[in-house]
Structure 1
Amino acid sequence: MSFAAMMLVALALDLALGWPKAIYDRIGHPVTWLGALITLLERRWNTNRPLRRARGTGAAALVIGVAAFIGLALQLALPANGWGIALGGVLAWPLVAMRSMHDHVAAVLHPLQSGDLPAARHAVSMIVGRDPSKLDTAGVTRAALESLAENTSDGIVAPLFWGAILGLPGIAAYKAINTLDSMIGHKTARYLEFGWASARIDDVANLIPARLTGLVFALVSGRARASLHCMWRDARHHRSPNAGWPEAAMAGALAVRLSGPRAYGAEVTPEPWVNSGAPDPHQTDLHLGLRLYARSMGLLALALGGVALWTL
């Protein structure tokens, strides 16, 4: 069975439908199911300080194992023909976030275009962890572009990458890894030890997809040399071992600077700039970033289609 063809079906369904609210209201979403399991384990196991790292490692292994087991069981139940590919694509569909990523960033762009900075701050707070209350127009735009770059890797390229290699167990396990990292992989007093394994596993799982995302951005940008140069020069200086690659590629592609100092509550972290010699982004650059994202998704679909034809 071609796992790449299965992922192409999932991508097409997500493009056409997203994850409909009617379905979400009735059954929720796999990420919310994973989140409920992670919350339960965190509340029960993140209690004994000397054992926090061991318990957190066990929690991560359990969540990833459950997700992979369910994915494998479903995959083994599929018929080994075109119907199996189609049904597998339906099952993988909610684990791809292409349409919602576009919609969340577009929700930031629209108020920026109308001059409504408070509404833009509120919209960007839905997709970033930092405090947006003091961000100016450039800061909001920068935050949205950074989220677009990083989440293209985490929310689309990485799940499809692991799904194309391993099928439903791969995409389900990756989604569990990414959800663990987003919920407990933080360097705070509560999660530093308990979320240590989750953060490290996420770093490894995104190692290849993050660099592939940067490469895709560069190839469709029309400024491939500048984008690749910026990625090679600045990505490794980013606070994240992976997020810097798609962010730097996008910064070079759009000729703007990204990252830099940021506020998380009362704390300001002195992060280095990516593409430091370029100007701050304007709202027009956010529009161009969404166009770059759309072209990247087209190239990704073509790549999946090519692999699917080769493996059928």
Structure 2
Amino acid sequence: MSFAATMLVALVLDAGIGWPDPLYKRVGHPVVWIGNLISLCEQRWNAGPRNRRIVFGTLTVLLVTGLPMALAALVALILPGGWAGVALTGLLAWPFVAVRSLHDHVAEVARPLGGGDLDGARQAVAMIVGRDITQLDTGGVARAGIESLAENASDGVIAPLFWGVVLGLPGIVGYKAINTMDSMIGHRTDRYEAFGKAAARLDDGVNWIPARITAALFALGTPRRLAHASRVVRRDAAAHRSPNAGWPEGAMAGILGVRLSGPRVYATHRVEEPWLNAGAPDPAARDMRRALRTYMRGMALAGGLLLALAVL
């Protein structure tokens, strides 16, 4: 229950003020510190035969996850008890939740797209996806933004909160280390496939429950679309390239009545992916705004659940 209270503090802080630029300029950000450690390990150890890369990639996972978790556990031990401890732990957990920054990044795409500025929307969406933006029409930009919003609602908000409720401060720190590793080295490319294999598999495991919770929060936050969202998830989520992302993306597709995922073009290759909610139209700018409202309702429900757990 105290863990739920600390995660509620972190969620409220981030939703209210995000991570302010002056604070970032002064102290940086804990996720950036973790990323620097990952980069150091990758530069030193990602070389040689495939088996060696797998071994050292696994060692990287143990180091990058274990060291921050151990430090977080030590800090948690020396914090005071009671409400002072709850407040301080929530303050320390705050930078590991990204509810506001995710909303703001996707809103930066929706704004020019809604004004007919396709080039501006392409430049904004390039900040959150890795696709070849020159190949994106209006529907492609909207799809990319909505998919990023749905998937990262799980990775950036619900999953860290979930592991924070389960394991306290070490849980939210450890999850963020795993997820950062996956985003940096968990790619199916010649350079990262072997070295990042353990990181990618572990990330799939720790996101399994949160992704399904996120889908449920989206659907429950829009009761009139609950049945259709549930049908899309049951039918299409398992076909997604990710064992987890298809759940929140499928729920969002069903709620909005649009199709998501599908083929996409990157700088070096084209990927053929099945559609989520095939047969529905491509999303438009107004659907991005609807997606943002769906996201905020889901996050408000998450806050309500944390509050209920805290006072249970």
State how far apart, in whole Å, the 2-side matches of 1:218 and 1:71 are: 34
Q: Give the share of equivalent positions with the same residue, in percent.
A: 57
Over 6 Å off, 4+ runs: none
Trace 1:124-139 onto structure 2 (pairs within 5 A): 124-139=125-140
RMSD: 0.8
Letter in 2 for 1:14: D
State how far apart, in whole Å, the 2-side matches of 1:193 and 1:278 are: 38
Partner SS state of residue 270, structure 2: strand
State how far apart, in whole Å, the 2-side matches of 1:67 and 1:291 are: 34
Gaps of at least 5 residues in structure 1 are none
Partner SS state of residue 91, structure 2: helix
Q: Deviations over 1:69-100 (max 9, x none)?
A: 11111111111110000000000000000000
Gaps of at least 5 residues in structure 2 are none
Task: Give the superposition deviation at 1:15.
Answer: 1.2
Task: Give the superposition deviation at 1:131.
Answer: 1.5
Q: Which residue of 2 aligns with 1:106?
A: 107
Q: Which residue of 1 aligns with 2:20?
A: 20
Partner SS state of residue 265, structure 2: strand
State how far apart, in whole Å, the 2-side matches of 1:227 and 1:167 are: 32
Q: Deviations over 1:120-162 (max 9, x none)?
A: 0011111112221210000000000000000000000000000
Partner SS state of residue 276, structure 1: coil
Task: Give the superposition deviation at 1:60.
Answer: 0.8
Q: Deviations over 1:20-73 (max 9, x none)?
A: 101101111011000100000000011122400000000011000011111111
State how far apart, in whole Å, the 1-side matches of 2:72 and 2:251 are: 33
Trace 1:59-98 onto structure 2 (pairs within 5 A): 59-98=60-99
Q: Which residue of 1 aligns with 2:284?
A: 282
State how far apart, in whole Å, the 2-side matches of 1:102 and 1:280 are: 21
State how far apart, in whole Å, the 1-side matches of 2:28 and 2:267 are: 30
Q: Which residue of 1 aligns with 2:167?
A: 166
State how far apart, in whole Å, the 2-side matches of 1:304 and 1:291 are: 20
Q: Which residue of 2 aligns with 1:233?
A: 235
State how far apart, in whole Å, the 2-side matches of 1:77 and 1:264 are: 48
Q: Which residue of 1 aligns with 2:249?
A: 247
Are residue 149 (structure 1) and residue 145 (structure 2) matched?
no
Q: Which residue of 1 aligns with 2:266?
A: 264
Trace 1:212-227 onto structure 2 (pairs within 5 A): 212-221=213-222, 222-227=224-229
Partner SS state of residue 241, structure 2: coil
Q: Which residue of 1 aligns with 2:294?
A: 292
State how far apart, in whole Å, the 1-side matches of 2:68 and 2:229 are: 36
Task: Give the superposition deviation at 1:266.
Answer: 2.9
Question: How many residues are treated as equivalent by the alignment?
Answer: 310
Partner SS state of residue 133, structure 1: helix
State the TM-score, normalizing by the size of structure 2: 0.98
Task: Give the superposition deviation at 1:16.
Answer: 1.3
Q: Which residue of 1 aligns with 2:55?
A: 54
Q: Which moved more, 1:122-131 or 1:201-210?
A: 122-131
Partner SS state of residue 55, structure 1: helix
Letter in 1 for 2:306: L
